[in-house]
Amino acid sequence: MLRKTVQIVTAVLTNSYYKGFLNGTIYKGKSKFFCVPGFNCYSCPGALGSCPIGAFQAVVNSAQYLISFYLLGFFLIVGTLLGRFVCGWLCPFGLFQEWIYKIPFKKIHLPHRYDFLKHSKYLFLLIFVFFIPAFISNDWGVGEPAFCKYICPAGTLESGIPLLYANESLRASAGALFNWKLAILLFVVVLSTKIYRFFCKYMCPLGAVYALFNKVSYYRIQVDRKICTECGNCINACKMDVIPYENPNSPECIRCGACKEACPAKALSMGFNIPIRKTNFKRF
Amino acid sequence: MKHRVFQFFLIFTGGVLLIAGIQRQEAFTVLTKAINICLECIGIG
């Protein structure tokens, strides 16, 4: 309940320029110097901050810069402090997928032997967020924000649909590319009804960045091995397919706390002041 | 202890990079992009 409240409050606060939704425009204030931690398109009519993935591409696809120190610094600080806590608590698109998953369709739980597919999000990060924007450029040295342009379903949902709905001139310009992005969004929505947070697991480049920090972040989960009976309740509770008592700080863990709540022995603790102990990993 | 030192190192490095990015005017590039409708994001450009 607390997590859901934080998710909703974060989504509303970071998208509270309501005039944009009415007029088909976007916020132009200086708060957009700063990035929000979650996946939130800066062209969303209500957005008050910048999307870190969009911002990273905007810098590396410009002719002046090959890499963005500003965004690398941002990722290091937010990642080290929070890791994928951002995904579980602060991401509006994650919240959207959780709502979609409540639609009562038959759910799919892929066996652990398919966990390697989750590495695809790192490919999206490397190829579409870095390599194409940085190295494939036009005659003026300007690259393309490839993830925003060809993939990002959050941009279509949060920006494309509301802006085209409210702004007639933009609506007149929509063509094949918009249809492609709409198809990607539909693909993600359909799979999100069957697979919990499909986009987060397999496609999200921002989740891929924060996943790299989960093992070292200040916010973490700890298992008390003296109490844990390895009953498996935490495994059944985890919708991200983590085995919490073996790998509590797995890159896939979004810190939702379901494992902690499910543990009858109260062997799991989660927070900032958790002592760091070595965990005897049996498998990943 | 090693973990704590590593965490501090990451935060410190992040701070240094963030300031370096601001000095390189990257934040203005971000702002310029963010205050104009991103045609790529909405599927037009």
**Inter-axis angle of helices A69-82 and B26-34, to 10 degrees?**
80
**Inter-axis angle of helices A69-82 and B2-23, to 10 degrees?**
150
- Domain regions of chain A by residue span: 2-211, 220-284
Nearest chain A Cα distance for residue B37, angstroms: 5
Q: Which parts of chain A have pLDDT scores under 70? A: 273, 275-284
Distance of CA A33 to the CA centre of its chain: 20
Of A50, A73, A177, the CB nearest to B43: A177
Helix (H) or strand (E) holding A269: strand A268-271
Written as one string, the DSSP assignment of B6-34 is HHHHHHHHHHHHHHHHHHTTHHHHHHHHH
Residues in chain A: 284
* 8 Å CB contact of B38 and A54: yes
Residues of B in contact with A163 (CB under 8 A): 37, 42
Residues of A in contact with B43 (CB under 8 A): 149, 155-156, 160, 174, 177-182
* 8 Å CB contact of B41 and A33: no
Class of A220-284 in CATH: alpha beta
* 8 Å CB contact of B17 and A70: yes
Interface predicted TM-score (ipTM) of this complex, two decimals: 0.95
The C-alpha atoms of residue A256 and residue A258 are separated, in whole angstroms, by: 6
pLDDT at A139: 81
The C-alpha atoms of residue A240 and residue A91 are separated, in whole angstroms, by: 15
Of B18, B28, B43, the CB nearest to A77: B18
pLDDT at A263: 96
* Residue corresponding to tokens 């890791």: A83
User: Residue A14 in 3-state DSSP?
Assistant: coil
Beta bridge partners of A143: A137
Cα A264 to Cα A52, A233, A238, A258, A259: the distances in Å are 38, 8, 15, 12, 10
* 8 Å CB contact of B42 and A160: yes
* Residue corresponding to tokens 């989740």: A207
Beta bridge partners of A222: A269
pLDDT at B44: 82
* 8 Å CB contact of B42 and A180: no
* 8 Å CB contact of A76 and B29: no
* 8 Å CB contact of A76 and B4: no
- Domain regions of chain B by residue span: 2-42
The C-alpha atoms of residue A196 and residue A242 are separated, in whole angstroms, by: 13
pLDDT at A280: 47
Q: Cβ(A18)–Cβ(A42) under 8 Å?
A: no
Mutate to test the interface with A, among B5, B29, B30 (most CBs of A within 10 A): B30
Where residue B16 falls among pLDDT bands split at 50, 70, 90? very high
Please count the other Cβ atoms lying within 10 Å of the Cβ belonging to residue B43.
30
